[in-house]
Structure 1
Amino acid sequence: MGEATQKLVALLDLEKLDTDLFRGQQPETIRQRVYGGQVAAQALIAASRTVDEGFHVHSLHSYFLLPGDYNVPIIYDVERIRDGKSFATRRVLARQHGRPIYYQSLNFQRHEEGLEHEDVMPEVKPPEEGLDLMQLMAERGTDDGLSKEWAALDVRWLGSSAYGLDPDPMHPAKAQVWIRVDGRLSDDPMEHLATFTYASDVSLLGATLAAHPEHGPQKVQMASLDHTIWFHRPFRADEWWLYDQWSPSASGGRGLALGRVFTQDGTLVATVAQEGLIRPSR
């Protein structure tokens, strides 16, 4: 495990302050606003530490309320909504400076057998033929300190509706990337779920701009408003997974993006949804 990945795992290892109360540390960064994937992943870790062994998260839903401040830790307060035989529900409130900055609700389930079906993975180029996203950001002047903060992630951009992907009349705004944690993680399933949650916020909102190439990230005010993940099947975050993204709608200064997550063998392991602010600069 490389140094950057070690720092990411440590970042997601919360300090317990009291029963159902945790504190999350901050990374070294020059950025002004806390990266949303970090808050979502830390909240997931907080909630997971309050459920009995044998329960595994299958969905999380969240709202970003206020920009996070990198200068102080984040406090995570977990509320136990329900503990049933098959399912458990938690709600997490993240606070800074005495104010709520983020809400997350999660559902956990004990493993059980059931009906099975899944989407087929689209035909795409392998990760080795993708472009290094961090290098692209540097070349386009859109880095803003993210390459250092995302140093634990290997992200290979395959293209979008604006650049590189064939036109799709059914989906005018599409984007595809391969992602993995750059370094071998442990076999702890929560380590993989948390680092995946961290990475799931990397590029999803950008898919909403794929239909508007004249409005790049530097010309648009972007901010995550909500973020939802459904976990379908176990997988390793340190092995390549395809993030197949599309945006069905943009209106009112907001864009909605959906993403299907496939492992390299074509297994659908998660589905992600996010709505965010995409306000053209005035």
Structure 2
Amino acid sequence: MNESLKELLDLLDLEQIELDIFRGRSPEERIQRVFGGQVAAQALVAAGRTVPDDRSVHSLHAYFIRPGDPAIPIVYNVERVRDGRSFTTRRVVAIQHGKAIFTMSASFHISEEGVEHQASVMPDVPDPETLPTFQERMHGLVGDAPEFRDWLAKPRPVDARYASPLTWEAHRDPELRSARTNVWFRYHAELPDDPLLHVVLAAYASDFTLVDTVLLAHGMAWGASNIVGASLDHAMWFHRPFRTDDWLLYAQESPWAGGARGLARGEMFTASGDLVVSVVQEAMIRVTKP
């Protein structure tokens, strides 16, 4: 387990400061705002700690309201909306400087039998072990450029292997532009069996590449194009148990963009082709003057 993953697991171990009130912190990095996947993951941890062990989260719906300040802790207030016989509902508000920066509703469900089908088919892509890491792909594009050296050298908690073009590659080559992208990812460590932990880690990883699918269709890339973006809302549905220390294929597409907003959706599959998570996100994407 590398240090970045250890730090992430530590960030997800929230401090309980009162009944249904938790406090989380951010990495000690020089970043302008808190990563959205971190806030969503911490909020889900807070909600899960107020739910009986016999119930698993099956969906979440979240709104990013204000940029998070990485210099101060985030307080998560959990509201126990409903405790039913089969379903439990929680609402979480993340607060900084006395204002809400994020809200989330999450629903938990007991294990039940029911009808089953899967219409989605996992895309046919190369095995992850045959693909270069994200850092190797980016190094091939930017080389040893000083402005990228530290960023590429920094360890990451998630091992991501792209089975499709990077936004930087499509920025340079219009023929690579597409509204679809496929990314294998996993956390390279033997993680505990806690089902909530794997769901939380999937929520964290889900926010890394989804908006990039919108940019890929237009040949834009963070740091290479005059764009400003931010996540607006995020929804996830968890269909069956899975592990994030095994490879998951994140198949993503952007069906629409316009009005300074872009919509992206994704599906996470196990290596054997089981659909385990569905994701939808809308983001603000503004093209600024050079």
The TM-score with structure 2 as length reference comes to 0.89
Deviation at 1:137, TM superposition (A): 4.3
* Alpha-carbon contact 1:152-1:183 (below 8 Å) kept: no
Distance (whole Å) between structure 2 residues aligned to residue 78 and residue 259 of structure 1? 28
Alpha-carbon deviations, 1:154-207, whole Å to 9, x = none? 00011149769xx99xx9500110000121111111111111111111101000
Deviation at 1:281, TM superposition (A): 2.0
Residue 268 (structure 1) aligns with:
275
Residue 90 (structure 1) aligns with:
90
* Alpha-carbon contact 1:93-1:102 (below 8 Å) kept: yes
Deviation at 1:145, TM superposition (A): 7.3
Distance (whole Å) between structure 1 residues aligned to residue 60 and residue 54 of structure 2? 18
Deviation at 1:278, TM superposition (A): 1.4
Distance (whole Å) between structure 2 residues aligned to residue 20 and residue 145 of structure 1? 39
- SS of match in other structure, 1:203: helix
Distance (whole Å) between structure 1 residues aligned to residue 217 and residue 66 of structure 2? 28
Residue 123 (structure 2) aligns with:
122
Corresponding residue to 1:252 among 234, 254, 259: 259
Residue 189 (structure 1) aligns with:
195
Corresponding residue to 1:236 among 217, 235, 243: 243
5+ long unaligned stretches in structure 1: none
Distance (whole Å) between structure 1 residues aligned to residue 285 and residue 74 of structure 2? 26
Amino acid at match of 1:206: D
Distance (whole Å) between structure 1 residues aligned to residue 125 and residue 15 of structure 2? 41
Q: 1:154 to 1:172 in 2, by over 3 A?
A: closer
* Alpha-carbon contact 1:161-1:172 (below 8 Å) kept: no
The TM-score with structure 1 as length reference comes to 0.92
Amino acid at match of 2:208: V
Q: How many pairs align?
A: 277
Q: 1:155 to 1:172 in 2, by over 3 A?
A: closer
Alpha-carbon deviations, 1:211-247, whole Å to 9, x = none? 111x222322121111111000100011100000000
Deviation at 1:134, TM superposition (A): 3.3
Distance (whole Å) between structure 2 residues aligned to residue 203 and residue 227 of structure 1? 13
Matches within 5 A, 1:209-224: 209-213=215-219, 215-218=220-223, 219=225, 220-224=227-231
Distance (whole Å) between structure 2 residues aligned to residue 143 and residue 276 of structure 1? 25
Residue 51 (structure 2) aligns with:
51
Residue 153 (structure 1) aligns with:
158
Percent identical pairs in the alignment equals 47
Amino acid at match of 1:81: V
Deviation at 1:129, TM superposition (A): 2.8
- Range 51-60 or range 148-157, more displaced: 148-157
- Which protein has the bigger helix share? 2
Alpha-carbon deviations, 1:81-102, whole Å to 9, x = none? 1110000101000001111000
- SS of match in other structure, 1:30: coil
5+ long unaligned stretches in structure 2: none
* Alpha-carbon contact 1:9-1:191 (below 8 Å) kept: no
Residue 3 (structure 1) aligns with:
3
Q: CA RMSD in A?
A: 2.3
